[in-house]
């Protein structure tokens, strides 16, 4: 079975998201905070839209049980992999939303200076790594289902 188009879009988007995310963090390293904020806004919004688009389509046109038939790997293996992927991805996305909203509030209340003493850097880096892991685990699942 050929992968449906919405899955291709999802896989391409999440293959490049970690690169764009790294660029947004690089802007903060270079002290371009406004661009860092703007790129974070754009990436978070586009990720939420792509995930919503995917979740709607997967429910309308397929579902994991149907697609997993396509793979030569066992259903049990794919299911365990999917559950681990969902747990990491949900925690990462929740963390990303939390950091975005709390950073925006912190900036409005106390300005840029307060970020120096906050845990923003540490949490931001952890979210970058876990979002990258979630993205590539998702892309690998797509490969395992449609090309293996
Ligand atoms: C929503 C508004 C945001 C604002 C206003 C903001 C602002 C800032 C500022 C001012 C810094 C510099 C901190 C310092 O010098 O110690 C910074 C660094 C950083 N931010 Fe954000 N940020 C936002 C969202 C995010 C999000 C959502 C993430 C990741 C999920 C993130 C990841 C990072 C990282 C990893 C650094 C450290 C860069 C370095 O190593 O120097 N930021 N941000």
The tens digit of pLDDT for each residue in 89-127 reads: 999 999 999 999 999 999 999 998 889 877 999 999 999
Q: 94-130 burial by CB neighbour count: b if 16+ within 10 A, else e?
A: ebbeebbeebeeeeeeeeeeebeeeebeebbeebbeb
* pTM for this entry: 0.92
49 CA from centroid of ligand 1 (Å): 22
- Domain with 96, as residue range(s), is 5-146
> Is-contact 87 104, C-beta < 8 A?
no
Q: What pLDDT score was predicted for residue 148? A: 80
In this predicted model, which residue has the larger pLDDT, 31 or 65?
31
Cα-Cα end-to-end distance for the chain: 11
Closest residue to atom 24 of ligand 1, CA basis: 100
Q: Is the CB of 130 under 6 A from ligand 1?
A: no
Q: Is the CB of 49 under 6 A from ligand 1?
A: no
What is the total count of domains within the chain?
1
111 CA from centroid of ligand 1 (Å): 13
Closest residue to atom 16 of ligand 1, CA basis: 116
Shortest-distance atom of ligand 1 to CA 106: 5
**C-alpha span between 35 and 140 (Å, rounded):** 31
């Amino acid at each position: 079975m050929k992968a449906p188009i919405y899955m291709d879009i999802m896989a391409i988007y999440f293959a490049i998201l970690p690169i764009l995310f790294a660029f947004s963090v690089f802007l903060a390293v270079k002290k371009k905070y406004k661009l860092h904020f703007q790129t974070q806004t754009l990436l978070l919004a586009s990720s939420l839209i792509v995930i919503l688009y995917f979740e709607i389509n997967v429910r309308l046109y397929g579902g994991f049980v149907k697609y997993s038939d396509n793979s030569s790997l066992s259903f049990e293996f794919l299911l365990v992999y999917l559950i681990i992927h969902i747990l990491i991805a949900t925690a990462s996305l929740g963390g990303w939303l939390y950091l975005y909203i709390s950073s925006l509030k912190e900036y409005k209340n106390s300005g840029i200076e307060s970020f120096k003493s906050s845990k923003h850097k540490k949490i931001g880096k952890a979210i970058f790594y876990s979002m990258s892991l979630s993205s590539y685990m998702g892309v690998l699942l797509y490969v395992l289902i449609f090309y293996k």
